[in-house]
Amino acid sequence: MPKPILYYDDRSPPVRSCLMLIKMLKIDIELRFIDLFRGEQFGKEFLALNPQHSVPTLVHDELVLTDSHVILIYLVEQFDADGTLWPKDYLARMKVLNRLFFECSFLFRRDSDLMSEIVRKEFANVDVAYHERKLCEAYGIMEQYLAEQQYMAADQRYALVSADAR
C-alpha cells in the first residue's frame, strides 16, 4: 500500500492536530502544502479530490478523508499498533469519541466563529463580549469534564483527544 498523502496548511488548527498525531505515531507520510491564503484549495485538481475545499485532506490508496476528526481516528486505527493512543476497549473508545465530537461541534465551533468574524470584519466591529461568553461557556464545560478525571476523556491520556484539544 502506498504511503498516505496529507494535503495541509499548518496555519489551520485542525491540520496541526493531524500533524501532531502523525509525528507521535512516526507515520511515513507525504505532505503536500495547500496555501489557503492564496486560494489553492479552489484549484481544479484539489476540488476534484475534495469538493469541500478544506484541509486537512488525507489520501491513502483509494481512500480520501476530508475531516480532521475522521483523519485522526483513521490514523490511530491504522498506525497505533500498541494501542497506547487509542483505547482498545469499546466503552473507552466511545468516551474518547464523545469528547472528540464535543471539541468538533461545540468547542472549536466557538473559536472558529470568532476567528471567521475577525477575518471578515474590522476588529472594531466584532462583538468580542458575545464571543467571550460563548468561549467561556465551552471552556466551562471542558473544566467540568476535567474535574471528574485527570484527562479529558479517560483515566489515562489518549493522544487522539489530547492532540485535538487545541
User: Does one domain contain both 28 and 60?
Assistant: yes
Average pLDDT over residues 107-118: 82
Residue where a domain terminates, one of 79, 101, 117: 79
Are both 70 and 50 inside the same structural domain?
A: yes
DSSP 104-161: IIIIHHHHHHHHHHHHHS-GGGS-HHHHHHHHHHHHHHHHHHHHHSSSSSSSS--HHH
- pLDDT of 127 reads 86
For the ranges 9-13, 28-32, 40-44, which has the lowest average pLDDT? 9-13
| CATH code: domain of residue 110 | 1.20.1050.10
pLDDT (tens digit per residue) in 68-85: 999 999 999 999 888 788
105 inside domain: yes
Helix (H) or strand (E) segment spanning residue 64: strand 63-65
The answer to which of 27-36, 119-128, 139-148 has the lowest mean pLDDT is: 119-128
Residue 122 has pLDDT above 80, yes or no: no
Same-domain pairing of 49 and 17? yes
Contact 165, 138 (CB under 8 A): no
Choose from 63-77, 115-129, 147-161 the range with maximum mean pLDDT: 63-77
Domain range enclosing 112: 90-164
